[in-house]
């Protein structure tokens, strides 16, 4: 299945995508993760992206579109993928439609994970991620058994550079003005679905699967 995950920063796109991968073995394409890898590698692309990410702004479309186009052409994407954090504005959504049309493919669904704005700040300031396996934790809601250590692989956890309060505020504004309109965009195409993203992660996952008609 070719799926777009929509939702504000901290809504749980990455968390739900990881569960979908485990269960259905579908690749997750997170433009945020790809950009953070480029920043860590100090590539030219990463150097350009970093200043935008640190401010909480969107990285220019040209950079992101090149990355996605290359990634969805890989063999592991032939039977589907989960786009997490892409598209992020109408221009990206239209460009994605164009790329898919060229490949004679179409999206199956865009799923919006809905969480009230007032919950998001705590989810983001509390997020910690395993530097080795990528497992996500939250010091307020789902803390690891041992402080700062991954339950799954024992590696150290880190906090994302953009999970500081000022940057989060900016990311939430950018979401409202540029990304939220995509709900209407995909509703117009008849493929938009939504789930309540509050409550227990496993229960949300069950609703995600049901909403997408997966078993
Ligand atoms: P990106 O990495 O995409 O960040 P984001 O959209 O801000 O989303 P997050 O990853 O912060 O949230 P999430 O929904 O994945 O939540 P998560 O599952 O981690 O983008 C970062 C930056 O890169 C952008 O600002 C931009 O600069 C750039 N960028 C990326 N894509 C781009 C694009 N297409 N175009 C241009 N620029 C782009 O969960 C968050 C926390 O909540 C975790 O701690 C988790 O454990 C916890 N949590 C999850 N579910 C629950 C629950 N049910 N209850 C309680 N806590 C929960
Ligand atoms: Mg994410
Ligand atoms: Zn780990």
Residue 177 confidence class, pLDDT cut points 50, 70, 90: very high
Q: How far apart are CA 18 and CA 22, in angstroms?
A: 6
Buried b (16+ CB within 10 A) or exposed e, 116-125: eeeebbebbb
Mean pLDDT of 102-114: 96
* DSSP secondary structure code for residue 26 in this structure: P
Q: What class has domain 2-27+74-211?
A: alpha beta
Residue spans of beta strands (DSSP E) within the chain: 2-6, 28-30, 81-84, 109-114, 127-130, 136-138, 157-158, 192-196
Candidate list 122, 149, 160, 170, residue with the active-site label:
160
pLDDT bucket at 188, cuts 50 / 70 / 90: very high
Average pLDDT over residues 138-147: 96
Percent of the chain with pLDDT over 90: 99
85 in ligand 1 pocket by Cβ < 6 Å? yes
Atom of ligand 1 at shortest range from CA of 197? 53
Task: Reply yes or no on whether 36 is catalytic.
Answer: no
Distance CA 3, CA 112 (A): 11
Please say if 171 is a catalytic residue: yes
CA nearest neighbour of 137 among 5, 4, 43, 14: 14
Q: What is the pLDDT of residue 213?
A: 95
Closest ligand, as measured to the CA of 152: 3
Q: What is the mean pLDDT of the chain?
A: 96
Q: Could you identify the atom of ligand 1 that is nearest to the CA of residue 32?
A: 2
Enumerate residues 6+ apart whose C-beta is below 8 A from 95. 61, 65, 87
pTM: 0.95
Q: Is the CB of 19 under 6 A from ligand 1?
A: no
Residue 62 is predicted with a pLDDT of: 96
Kindly name the residue from 2, 123, 128, 171 that is annotated as catalytic.
Answer: 171
Report percent pLDDT > 70 for the chain. Answer: 100
From the candidates 50, 88, 123, 128, give the one annotated as an active-site residue.
Answer: 88
144 in Cβ contact with 156 (< 8 Å): no
Spatial separation of the C-alpha atoms in residues 74 and 78, rounded to whole Å: 7
Please provide residue 198's backbone torsions phi and psi, each rounded to the nearest 5 degrees: -105, 150
Minimum CA distance residue for ligand 1 atom 21 = 32
| Digit-coded pLDDT (tens) for 9-46 | 999 999 999 999 999 999 999 999 999 999 999 999 99
The band of 156, judged by pLDDT with boundaries at 50, 70 and 90, is very high
- C-beta neighbour count of 16 within 10 angstroms: 25
What was the pLDDT predicted at 215?
Answer: 80
Cβ distance 107 to 5 under 8 Å? no
Kind and range of the H or E run holding 39 = helix 31-41
- If 0-12 CB within 10 Å is exposed, 13-18 middle and 19+ buried, where does residue 194 land? middle
Cβ distance 198 to 115 under 8 Å? yes
Q: What is the Cα–Cα distance from 199 to 28, expressed in whole angstroms?
A: 23
Task: State if residue 136 touches ligand 1 by the CB under 6 angstroms criterion.
Answer: yes
Q: Locate the domains of the chain by residue range.
A: 2-27+74-211
Nearest ligand to residue 31 Cα: 1
Q: Does 127 participate in catalysis according to the annotation?
A: yes
Q: Per-residue pLDDT for 123 more than 90?
A: yes
């Amino acid at each position: 299945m070719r799926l777009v995950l929509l939702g504000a920063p901290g809504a749980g796109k990455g968390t739900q995508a990881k569960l979908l991968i485990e269960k259905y073995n579908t690749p997750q394409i997170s433009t945020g993760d790809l950009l953070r890898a480029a920043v860590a590698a100090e590539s030219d692309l990463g150097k350009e992206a970093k200043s935008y990410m640190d401010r909480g702004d969107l990285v220019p479309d040209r950079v992101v579109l090149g990355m996605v186009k290359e990634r969805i052409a890989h063999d592991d994407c032939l039977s589907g993928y989960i786009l997490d954090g892409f598209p992020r504005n109408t221009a990206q959504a239209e460009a994605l439609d164009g790329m898919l049309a060229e490949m004679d493919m179409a999206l199956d669904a865009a799923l919006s994970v809905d969480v009230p704005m007032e919950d998001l700040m705590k989810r983001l300031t509390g997020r910690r991620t395993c530097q080795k396996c990528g497992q996500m934790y939250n010091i307020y809601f789902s803390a690891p058994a041992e402080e700062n250590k991954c339950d799954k692989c024992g590696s150290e956890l880190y906090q994302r550079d953009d999970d500081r309060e000022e940057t989060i505020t900016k990311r939430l504004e950018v979401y409202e003005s540029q990304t939220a309109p995509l709900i209407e965009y995909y509703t117009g195409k008849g493929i938009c679905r939504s789930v309540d993203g509050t409550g227990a992660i496993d229960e949300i996952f069950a609703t995600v699967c049901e909403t997408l008609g997966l078993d």
